[in-house]
Structure formats: C-alpha cells, structure tokens
Structure 1
C-alpha cells in the first residue's frame, strides 16, 4: 500500500477504534558500504530499510506498536497491539501527543552533492586509499579496515492534532585502519573523513592521518604508578563525555539513576566548562529541526560556566518536573518508545592551542585512547577505571608513547578539576564532541 494512503487510513481507524489521539512515526533509508582488501572489493553492501510505528492514547494510557509492512493486515495489527499495550500499562505517567510549534529552524543535514553518487568513483577512491596507505610507509604491514560508505535517511511524524513534519539527512564517510610494525611491536590508527561530496575524499590525506597515528604509538612503555597532571586528548574526552552522557537525562534523574537529580543551579564542573546540546549545529551528525515528539529543537547550555542549568527533557519528564521540554524526546529506532537523549553534545572550545596546553602542563601525560568503557565505567556513580594509552610530556614537549597503564577516577570530580580547555573541538565520527583539556591530576596504575 502507498504510504500516504496507509497513513490516512491508520489515523482514521485509530480514532474509530477508541483512541483519543494517535500518531505515526516513520523512518526509511538506504546505505551503501564498500570495503576493499588487497586491491579487490571485498564487501559491497547495499541495504534499504523502512519502519513505521503507531502510538495512541486510550483512557489516558499510551500504547505502542510498529511494522515494516504496509497492508490491511498490518493496519489492523497496529491498532490491536497498541490497544493491548496501553491496557497493560500500570504506571500513571501523563503521556502527550504534541500539536506542534509555530516555528521550526532549518538545519544543515542534507547535501545535494551526495545525490546519485557514482559507485565506480567510490570504488576507485577506496582502492586508492588502500594503495596510498600501503605506500606511505614500509612499516605498514596490514590494513584491518578500508571502507567508503554512503547513507541516506528520511523520517517524519503525523498525528491527529494536525502535526505533519518531515526531515532528511545524508552522509558520506571513508576511513582506513592501518597496522604498523617495528621491532615486533604492532600498533594501529585511524584516518577518516566525513564529506559533503566525493571531491572531499582525499586518499593521500586520509592515509597520512591513519599511518602517522599508528607510527606515533610505536615503542610505547609503561610509567610508574602515581598521580599525573594530564591532558585528555579531544577524542579520549569524547569517549568519556559519551559514556557519561546519561547523567544529563531528566528521565535518568527522575528514576534515581543520575547524581544530578535536583542539582540545577549548582556548580558541577570547573567554571571554565560549558557543555552544549545543539541539534541545530551545522553539519552535525544528529542535527534535526524537531525531536521525535514533534517539538521544535533548540540549542541549549546544559552546563554554563560550570553551573548545571538544565537537564534534558522530553514532554513526559518536563511535565513531571513542572518545566518545559528541551526538545530531547528521541527514539533509539522507529520501533522504540520515546526516551530522552542528547543531539549534538559537546564541550565548548576554549582559546588555548594544543602546543599551549603542552607548555602549561610542563611535565605530565596525554591520554589519547581509553578502553573498557562499557565494563570499567559506572555511569551512575561516575567511577571509572580504564586501560589507557597516550604520551609522556617533558619540558612542555610530547616525548615517548605510553601504554600498559590504567587510569582511575570519578567523572564528577574530573569535571571540577579541569584547568584549561583547548581550542581543538572535534567530533570524531560522532555526534559527541570535545576539545582537548587539562585536568589537575589523574591516578595512574603503571609499572
């Protein structure tokens, strides 16, 4: 069945079957991923997807259902399952279907230059990337990944209150993971680009980035245990910010799963730290003019000069807290219920260059890589104990690489101990970003 016909029939039938209000959310997309190995195309994956969810309020309860097929049988199934779902809900949380806002900002998330890409050019680019990576240095002994991929998606919301919203985005990305070896020791690194056109994919530049990162890690050694003044490199700080991002969710706070509950207005970080959630960020990977409840999104400072100004809300959590939604009602997928999550989340950059950070530290360490984030970090208490790699700093200069160390601490304490924020804000293939920054000290378990 054609989508518009299915949509109209479903909303009409929902009201006829007793729902007071109802809504449709849909998403569809396609992706092309091309991987090469030893000069040959190893993987060529073309995938298309479509999913539709239905939710409706009946007797004050919200029921959910979803499908990947649009026919008369699916129509009846969606109504039946949503009604059963609503009747089985035991909590008394007030649920909302939104009538919409008067204004929605435009976002930069779709690029016409990426329409109708020439797949032969994509293949040639990724083959050149592998070739350039191998030729860059004799120490390159293997390539554990070399890909180029394109993805497109569109999504929308329609409900019985007259709301009709749609948006679309697309993305081109290419990366290589070279493995280098020296004196029996192997290390890897990543070179990548997120591009708005094929012309922005430069195999030589990507190869250089990946191989140089790999080479910089060779001949690493452990350091004595102790407490060190530390630069947390932007990509490593992204890992921490992402891992602990749920602390800013009002839903988590209301369930007792965030220590930031009722902390609005309090100082929770260093006064030089500002943390932003910006769904309107140009070229952001999570930029969108509306959330998955149809609320117009807006840029907001979650933490402003160290002070917690707001948690992230959807309509339900905002009603509980007697405040306004922040436009962060998002689904994990079309089949999920609406939760709370950030869009483009990042620490606002400062004014110090990375060289200035090095000079400020004088002697200490740089943390560039963190491992074990799923098992070694507790998002509720903030405690973490993580395997790490990086570099030693001596006389304000990056010296030898370090490895086989574990860093431990508490995320809430770490936020308060940030002394300098760098200017190198980066979003490493992620909707989470951070600049490099200096922390007063971090506990290191080494040799």
Structure 2
C-alpha cells in the first residue's frame, strides 16, 4: 500500500510553497513471473516499481513533475523547484484542478487479496510446477510443453488533491498459462490453457 504520510506531504508541501491548488497521483506495483521446464524453474522474475506525479496550479499556470523515488526530503525539494518554475509558465484560463464534488461511488467491489504479497516465492514456484503436473496428468498423449507460466500482480493507486479529493484503488491478480503438445501416432497437436483469479487461494 502507498504510505499515507508521504502522499499527504506532497500536497501540503506544494501549498506551503505557494501553489493555489495541487494534485498528486501515486502508484505502486509488484509483479512475479515464473516459467517451468521439465519440473524445474527455468526463470524467476520479481519486479517492483512505484512512483508519483504532482501537478500544481498558480495564477492559471500549470506545472507537473514525476519521479519514481519515494524519498520525502527529495520530494520536498523537487516540489519547491516545481512551484518556482511554474511561475514562469504560460497562463491559460482553462488550466484547472478538479474540485471535490461529494462522496465517491462505492458500488464496485475491488478484488484485492492482502495475503498475496506475503506468499513465499517457493510456494509460487511449486504452484507453477503443479501446472505442469496437471497438464501431464490430463491426458497420456501430452508429451511436453512449449511454455509453463505462473504470474501474479499486486498494485495500488491513489489520487488526492488540495480541494478534498482523495480516492484509492488496490487490486491483485494471479494467473497460470500452459502451452503443451500431444502426440498421437505420427500427428502432433498443440493446445493452450490460461486462467486468472483475483485471490491466490482460488488458484
């Protein structure tokens, strides 16, 4: 999840530096991909990225800055420089930042598994191996695989501004993919199967 104090500090810093309005967008994402060959891991990749963007409004002048370094002191200095530079931008009466318009809709339920990020990598590797085992057990004609893949994604986003808007979203997905080939006499056929779930326990 995105740290609450860091997100709020972006807006407060911009206003304290002289911006009339400010809005920030923050994101955080972790992805895992595991491929299997002959019952053993062939590749294991885990990557994470995070970042933020902030825009400020001053005298109908709009400035924007983004970074993937979530360091409070560095962010504070960059926002100071942003507000300073925005003073020299071209004014446009259509530049604006949205105003808070009341409570947001809560009709849509997010699919988010908070436990997915805590699952050991070794367990995910075993899940990928099980995909291959299931494929071989499905039919005796299955003689090999072109590709076996397990993957998952954990992501969160937040938008907040100085007018009162503060919305966030989090989601998780895990998925498996098998691309196999089967022999029958002299003929060879290939087949693919993929499935995705929002919660690891359903995988």
Structure-2-length-normalised TM-score: 0.77
| Corresponding position: 1:30 with 2:30 | yes
C-alpha displacement of 1:84: 4.2
String of CA shifts for 1:156-212, please: whole Å, max 9, x gaps.
1221112222221111111112245679886644211112444533xxxxxxxxxxx
In angstroms, what is the RMSD of aligned CA positions?
3.4
Q: Corresponding residue for 1:176? A: 178
Question: Is contact 1:67–1:78 with CA below 8 Å preserved after alignment?
Answer: no
Q: Cα distance 1:5–1:199, how it changes in 2: closer, same or farther (>3 A)?
A: closer
Q: Which has the higher contact order (CA 8 A, sep 6+)?
A: 2
Q: Corresponding residue for 1:150? A: 152
C-alpha displacement of 1:66: 0.9
Q: Cα distance 1:107–1:134, how it changes in 2: closer, same or farther (>3 A)?
A: same
Q: Corresponding residue for 2:45? A: 45
Q: Corresponding residue for 1:74? A: 75
Question: Is contact 1:154–1:168 with CA below 8 Å preserved after alignment?
Answer: yes
Q: Corresponding residue for 1:283? A: none
Question: Is contact 2:27–2:50 with CA below 8 Å preserved after alignment?
Answer: yes
Q: Cα distance 1:18–1:41, how it changes in 2: closer, same or farther (>3 A)?
A: same
Q: Cα distance 1:30–1:82, how it changes in 2: closer, same or farther (>3 A)?
A: farther
Question: Is contact 2:151–2:174 with CA below 8 Å preserved after alignment?
Answer: yes
| Corresponding position: 1:200 with 2:202 | yes
The separation in 1 between residues aligned to 2:110 and 2:72, in whole angstroms, is 34
Q: Corresponding residue for 2:65? A: 65
String of CA shifts for 1:379-433, please: whole Å, max 9, x gaps.
xxxxxxxxxxxxxxxxxxxxxxxxxxxxxxxxxxxxxxxxxxxxxxxxxxxxxxx
String of CA shifts for 1:290-331, please: whole Å, max 9, x gaps.
xxxxxxxxxxxxxxxxxxxxxxxxxxxxxxxxxxxxxxxxxx
Alignment of 1:360-399 (within 5 A): none
Structure-1-length-normalised TM-score: 0.39
Q: Corresponding residue for 1:98? A: 99
Q: Corresponding residue for 1:208? A: none
Q: Cα distance 1:138–1:90, how it changes in 2: closer, same or farther (>3 A)?
A: farther
The DSSP-based 3-state class of the residue aligned with 1:48 is strand
Q: Cα distance 1:81–1:141, how it changes in 2: closer, same or farther (>3 A)?
A: farther
Aligned length: 200
Alignment of 1:108-123 (within 5 A): 108-112=110-114, 114=116, 116-123=118-125
Question: Is contact 2:51–2:66 with CA below 8 Å preserved after alignment?
Answer: yes
Question: Is contact 2:143–2:181 with CA below 8 Å preserved after alignment?
Answer: yes
Q: Cα distance 1:196–1:84, how it changes in 2: closer, same or farther (>3 A)?
A: same
The DSSP-based 3-state class of the residue aligned with 1:190 is strand
Alignment of 1:99-248 (within 5 A): 99-105=100-106, 106-112=108-114, 114=116, 116-137=118-139, 140=142, 142-180=144-182, 188-201=190-203
Question: Is contact 2:172–2:199 with CA below 8 Å preserved after alignment?
Answer: no
Q: Cα distance 1:140–1:160, how it changes in 2: closer, same or farther (>3 A)?
A: same
Question: Is contact 1:55–1:82 with CA below 8 Å preserved after alignment?
Answer: no
Question: Is contact 1:65–1:82 with CA below 8 Å preserved after alignment?
Answer: no
User: Which structure dedicates a bigger proportion of its chain to strand?
Assistant: 2
The separation in 2 between residues aligned to 1:6 and 1:119, in whole angstroms, is 29
Question: Is contact 2:11–2:22 with CA below 8 Å preserved after alignment?
Answer: yes
